[in-house]
Amino acid sequence: CCYRWHGDNPVTFERFLKHTMEHGHANDRGDNFFSVAYWYQATPYTDFPALPPLEARIPKVRTA
């Protein structure tokens, strides 16, 4: 199972986290996978930078 919901078994990181998963034999399955991330932060904190425009945040989908 790939789910990790328990605080006593955290996956810690400082800058980024990379996760890879094989999709069937020879990595040839076309399954859809989804994830959700929760950010828990206690104060104090600083303001986050402004987000880029919406068009810049939408992934570009290429075909062929």
Interval 1-58: pLDDT, tens:
445 555 566 677 778 777 777 777 777 777 777 777 777 878 777 888 899 999 998 8
pTM check: above 0.75: no
Q: What pLDDT score does 52 carry?
A: 92
Q: What pLDDT score does 64 carry?
A: 67
Contacts 24+ apart (CB under 8 A), 26-29: none
Establish how many alpha carbons lie within 13 A of residue 31's alpha carbon, considering only the half-sphere containing its beta carbon: 10
Q: What pLDDT score does 53 carry?
A: 94
d(CA 60, CA 38): 25
Residue that is written with structure tokens 């945040």 in the block:
57
For the chain, what are the domain ranges?
1-64
